Structure 1
Amino acid sequence: MSAASPAPASSASARPRSVVVALGPVDADEVTPHLPEHAQFVPDPGADDLAVAEGAIVRAAFTLDRAMLDRMPRLRIIARTGVGVDRVDLDAARERGIPVAITPGSNSRAVAEGAFTMLASLIKNLGESHRYVSAGEWGRAPVPEAGDLHGRTLAVLGYGRIGRIVAGFGRAFGMHVIAHDPFVSADDAENVSLEDAVRRADALTLHLPGGGSELLPLAILRSAKPGLVLVNCARADLVSTATLQEGLESGILGGVGLDVFEDEPVQRHPLAGRTDVLLSPHTTGFSRAARRETVRMAAVAVGEVLGGRYPTFTVGDA
């Protein structure tokens, strides 16, 4: 009697593995459950992994240039966590026919929470209050005065997903919200010119794309009420460090919150150490829930392409 023939391999095990690499730190436990069964995730790829990679999950701080793409000749999908693609060579990707997927909305609430927390802390003068108590000045010197949110005007520059959430937070604290965004219809807020927003605001938060000339030079900020609180969790080039420094020194600005910088990581920032300034290491959008969601969306985009479909959200579509 002849020996039994070996059982045929299952279709899943017979299918060639599709290598998916991480470019930047990505937790394998957070991404693997959302990839197809035939995908092999490599969180710390070497040259051999890059050479056969069909998908890449790319973090914000990673630069994916033409030279890096040359090392990945089989790449079919770039899934960028977040929506910023300034570190991705879009022309090189387009020449290769590689879609660049993004994860819109995955961290909108986290960024909004971070921006409004900065704004409220600066208005309430918590930095100076902390210094005052820590330095043992309580009972020896006048206490720092806290500002008010209720009844003040909040200008939201950029009225997309994040800006609308920030506006909701402001209203919950009794603030009057105005918006500036020439590209959207702000049906629940007065949409005003940039100059009018700066002139009327007690607090101002930025949620616009950068890439152009400085949005808020001193020439515009000089029209603001003295002591304007300004928070930028969007793009560093919207308002320069020099402008912010001059605004604080002159009293035009009463507080500044920054989560974005010209050069990252920052070393010895000119505004560091001030009690009227809050500096965050570009992490307002990196809460636990936001991180999990952006990785999930990136993994789903990779899976869509590996399954023969076009990704749901790509540059220019979201």
Structure 2
Amino acid sequence: MSKHVVVALGPVDADTVGPVLGERVTFVTDPTPEELAVAEGAIVRADRRVDADLLQRAPRLRVIARTGVGVDLVDVAAASGRGIPVVITPHSGSRAVAEGVFAMTLHLTKRLNPLTELVREGRWAERNAVPVGDLDGATLGIVGYGRIGRRVAELAAVFGMRTLAYDPFSPPPPESARADLGELAEASDVLTLHTPLTDSTRHLVDEELLVRVKPGAVLINCGRGGLLDPDATLAALESGRLSGVGLDVFDPEPALHHPLFDHPDVVLTPHLMGMTRRAMTLTFVDAARGVADVLAGRPPAAVADPDFNHRKATA
């Protein structure tokens, strides 16, 4: 019985994906050009490029599984044109990212950095000079009400927050929906970004929007780096319009230094909020399951191209 060859493009835990792929699959963690040439499947990490050149070097490829949902570095059109579905894993990291939003929100609202410095430097008597905020009773504005946005709303309810949401494509519940982004910004104590990056959403948070933000608001971006204008965001911090900014995503990545990074009321993480231990295990499992489905002639659970015709591709 012949075996399928599936390769990893980037670090992938073989012990996690092996049992999901099954005994008929040979999984190669660091493929040679010869192994890539016979590969029928690939599990691809977010920082690895899959372009026309790689597709040409993998002529037998039948499925690409991207660990996550972003396909910025994957030529989805070229893959689809060859009948190769680009599998994504939209459910594996949603809860982890939502938790990251609240980790940053709590850090900034509870003023953990300046309070740590007070204790560390023996300035206990100055503690009342640091205003500590509350989530209970505050308003959370969610921009983008997809999987992660909805999970953020669930967690907000536990904290006693009021939730408002803006998303022209995935309508939030009527009681929380806001049709105008500026109106949402004016009402929100915390503004969190979870919309995809497109030409129309690039620098969605710009100077024009930031002048409408509720004074003292916290801004969190665990969506895509290009959603906010860093110059305008820094200006809003320096003017006091924003009281804190949390960034897990950047444009480009790896992040290039910006003066915004040096502001004391900014917390930064290197696009890791969706890459917790549990989330990484789940995304590897989901990616491997997508590969196994395609190799067995079954439609995968989720693909990047919603118009991809699995039946036609596997006919």
If the TM-score is normalised by the length of the shorter chain, which range does it land in?
A: over 0.9
Q: Measured at CA, do residues 201 and 23 of structure 1 come closer, stay the same or move farther in structure 2, by a change above 3 Å?
A: same
Find the residue that maps to 1:60 and give its secondary structure. coil
C-alpha distance in 2 between matches for 1:313 and 1:142: 51
Letter of the 2:189 counterpart: D
Question: Post-superposition shift, 1:200?
Answer: 0.7
Deviation at 1:131, TM superposition (A): 2.1
The answer for the alignment partner of 1:195 in structure 2 is 182
Report the identity percentage: 49
Number of the residue aligned with 1:180: 166
1:141–1:198 CA distance, 2 compared to 1 (3 A): closer
Distance of 1:178 and 1:33 partners within structure 2: 42
Larger radius of gyration: 1
On the 8 A contact 2:115/2:127 being kept in 1, the answer is no
Write the mapping of 1:213-252 to structure 2, written as runs, cut at 5 A: 213-252=202-241
Verify the 8 A CA contact 1:195 1:220 in the aligned structure 2.
yes
Greater fraction of residues in helix: 2
1:143 Cα deviation from its structure 2 partner: 4.4
CA distance in 2, matches of 1:308, 1:171: 42
The alignment partner of 1:278 has SS state of strand
Task: Tell me by how many angstroms 1:178 deviates.
Answer: 0.6
Cα displacement (A) at 1:185: 3.1
Q: Structure 1 CA distance, aligned partners of 2:208 and 2:258?
A: 23
CA offset at residue 195 of structure 1?
1.1
* Paired AA for residue 210 in structure 1: L
1:80 aligns with 2:66: yes
SS at match of 1:139: helix
One-letter code aligned to 2:50: L
Q: 1:263 aligns with which of 215, 238, 252?
A: 252
Structure 1, residues 14-39: CA drift from partner, whole Å, max 9, x if none? x1121100111111111111002110
Q: Do residues 205 (structure 1) and 192 (structure 2) align?
A: yes
In structure 2, the residue matched to 1:6 is none
1:184 Cα deviation after fit = 2.2
Name 1:44's counterpart in structure 2: 30
Deviation at 1:142, TM superposition (A): 4.8
Q: What is the rounded CA distance, in whole Å, between the counterparts of 1:37 and 1:261 in structure 2?
A: 40
Distance 1:79 1:39 in 2: 15
Aligned-residue CA RMSD (Å): 1.6
Counterpart position of 1:253: 242
State the AA in 2 paired with 1:230: L
Q: Which segment is superposed worse, 265-274 or 199-208?
A: 265-274
Q: 1:268 to 1:137 in 2, by over 3 A?
A: farther
Which residue of 247, 258, 282 corresponds with 1:293?
Answer: 282
- TM-score normalised per structure 1: 0.91
Segments of structure 1 that go 5 or more residues without pairing to the other structure are 1-14
Question: Could you tell me how far apart the structure 2 residues matched to 1:170 and 1:290 are?
Answer: 21
- Alpha-carbon distance in 2 for matches of 1:171, 1:313: 29
Instruction: Name the CA distance, whole Å, in 1 between partners of 2:37 and 2:123.
Output: 62
The C-alpha deviation readout for 1:24-73, integer Å capped at 9, x for no partner, is: 11111111110021100011111111111100001111111111111111
- Give the structure 1 partner of residue 94 of structure 2: 108
Q: Please give the alpha-carbon distance, in whole angstroms, between the structure 2 residues aligned to 1:152 and 1:89.
A: 42
> Could you tell me how far apart the structure 1 residues matched to 2:174 and 2:116 are?
36
Name the structure 1 match of 2:312: none
Equivalents in 2 of 1:146, 1:254: separation in Å?
Answer: 11
